[in-house]
Structure 1
């Protein structure tokens, strides 16, 4: 599928609008939604014993799932963080234990050092800027998660990719093109939900 003229500009404008809207959500509302998101992930994923989960370091108002990940580790999961190793390449997943010393990566996002073990996760949590009904993800525009999903699938690795975010990030379409790859599942929590 070829990209329709004007799509890149539209995506850039939508990306900015959605990031600003996410950052405007009050911290208390995000924290409450993050707890609901953790419960939904537990129900969706099930037993984590012996599985490797890649989360992410929260950035620009993304859901903070670090406490949930630590609880998964207590239940027998291993954890990893994604690392940008080069432009226009798939992400690398490095083993991470809460409390480990981290370095600054791209956009100053904390990452495990080069000496960390590289792993192939069973579950990949992918933060979304926007997400449409077909589980296509609008991200930050670098294409890292799409390249990563493609590489995982081409290698035969059966990682389950789950998009996570807030319901306000739901879109009718991201106007997907040939390089966009849908998430296997998605969990979006409404930050205005009183429950």
Structure 2
């Protein structure tokens, strides 16, 4: 199900509304720290929250995750519209993330172009390699498959899996900083859509000056 990130009344937050008592003072109303020393406390909190959210995601049975992925696909089609002629970066699922590989294949079938993100070097932006189902793959970072021969492309749409997300569309990722570096380095701004489960919606990630919010969020709730 696709939630309006501005409609806080419908979001189900997994975390208490405020963790500021656990952090050093000096945060503004958005959660951005004014005191650089406080970043160490934010990083420590993010690490613990990341572990909690990933554990919760992995606890969802595979068949339930598949049902939710189908709902997410419906939301993506509604957000993107006609994929013909568009280059869309998806991802290879990792640690309980929604499996969008069938949808990625459908993008190609409908006249779009698919791509996968590739880590080239630590602390550097990702690159996007063109990919069609059946293309040769090789193991990348964390043994995640990546295109072995695909040419580098600039996506029109980037689909980004979430570890957590707050009402301002700030994404909690795996902590490598690749997402923000990549968006900052691209020559043109793509439409960025975060995907995940409703249980990954949290009150805040304590966004920092380097964090870049996503444009839209598509999540799905656990079937009743």
Q: Which residue of 1 aligns with 2:139?
A: 104
Task: Determine which of 107, 110, 115 is the counterpart of 1:80.
Answer: 115
1:63 aligns with 2:103: no
Task: Determine which of 126, 147, 167 is the counterpart of 1:91.
Answer: 126
Cα RMSD, aligned residues only: 1.0
Contact 2:157 2:193 in 1 (8 A): yes
Structure 2 length-normalised TM: 0.82
Answer with 1 or 2: which has the greater Rg: 2
Q: Deviations 1:91-139 (Å, cap 9, x if unpaired)?
A: 00000001111000000000012x3200000010000100000000000
State the alpha-carbon separation in 2 of the partners of residues 116 and 129 from structure 1: 27
In the TM superposition, residue 151 of structure 1 has moved relative to its aligned partner by 1.2
Task: Determine which of 194, 198, 221 is the counterpart of 1:163.
Answer: 194
State the alpha-carbon separation in 1 of the partners of residues 180 and 207 from structure 2: 11
Q: Which runs of 5+ in 1 are unaligned?
A: none
Task: Determine which of 15, 20, 23 is the counterpart of 2:58.
Answer: 23
State the alpha-carbon separation in 1 of the partners of residues 183 and 89 from structure 2: 13
In the TM superposition, residue 193 of structure 1 has moved relative to its aligned partner by 2.9
Q: Which residue of 2 aligns with 1:178?
A: 209
Q: Tell me whether 157-166 or 53-62 shows the greater mean CA deviation.
A: 157-166
Q: Which residue of 2 aligns with 1:134?
A: 168
Task: Provide runs of 4+ in structure 1 moved above 4 Å.
Answer: none
Q: Which residue of 1 aligns with 2:11?
A: none
Structure 1 length-normalised TM: 0.94
Q: Which runs of 5+ in 2 are unaligned?
A: 1-31
1:189 aligns with 2:223: no
Task: Determine which of 45, 52, 55 is the counterpart of 1:10.
Answer: 45
1:125 aligns with 2:192: no
State the alpha-carbon separation in 2 of the partners of residues 149 and 91 from structure 1: 9
Higher relative contact order (CA 8 A, sep 6+): 2
